[in-house]
Amino acid sequence: MKKIIFIIAALMLSAFAASAQDVLGKWKLETGTAIVQVYQSGENFNGKIVWLKNATEADGSPAVDKNNPDPAKQSRKLMGLNMLSGLKKTGDEYTGGKIYDPANGKTYYCSFKVEGNTLKVRGSLDKKGVLGRTMTWYRVK
């Protein structure tokens, strides 16, 4: 009986420890146009573009952040660009961050939650997430 209780406790403890790690890794956007790698830096969770469906411009040069409202940033490469920043784990969610959308050059408040092999990413105009939309990203193995 003690052995069974020990095994159950160990499984519960490892599941709890793994929950923070569940978000780490590569996630494909629901549009299939990019893969973002979520990584941890201190207490923050961030994400950078590691794959693009259209990784080059028409002339064969690397795709750049041409929709950015800041002219100084319009020539930076999209590959490797940090598009998620400053998320912190709060319970079973990650909140308080920002998400940058290179398609329109805008930055939004962001939160997300891991649900199995999906990541529910919420981008919004307001910090509470009322004025926004939720996207589903899929884990890449």
Q: How confident is the model at residue 21 (pLDDT cuts 50, 70, 90)?
A: low
User: pTM for the whole thing?
Assistant: 0.82
Nearest one of 138, 141, 115, 110 to 29, comparing CA atoms = 138
> How many other C-beta atoms can be found within 10 angstroms of the C-beta atom of residue 57?
11
Nearest one of 62, 139, 49 to 102, comparing CA atoms = 49
Q: Which residues of 84-114 are buried (b: 16+ CB within 10 A; e: fewer)?
A: bbbbebeeebbbbbbbbebeeeeebbbbbbb
Q: What pLDDT was estimated at residue 3?
A: 52
pLDDT value at 71 more than 60: yes
Q: What pLDDT was estimated at residue 127?
A: 85
Q: Is the dihedral of CA 70, 71, 74, 75 positive or negative?
A: negative
Considering the chain, what is the average pLDDT of its residues? Answer: 88
> How many other C-beta atoms can be found within 10 angstroms of the C-beta atom of residue 50?
15
Nearest one of 47, 139, 44, 24 to 102, comparing CA atoms = 47
Q: State the architecture of 23-140 in CATH terms.
A: Beta Barrel (2.40)
Name residue 77's beta-bridge partners: 64
- Helix/strand/coil for 5: helix
At 48-68, the pLDDT tens digits run 999 999 999 999 999 999 999
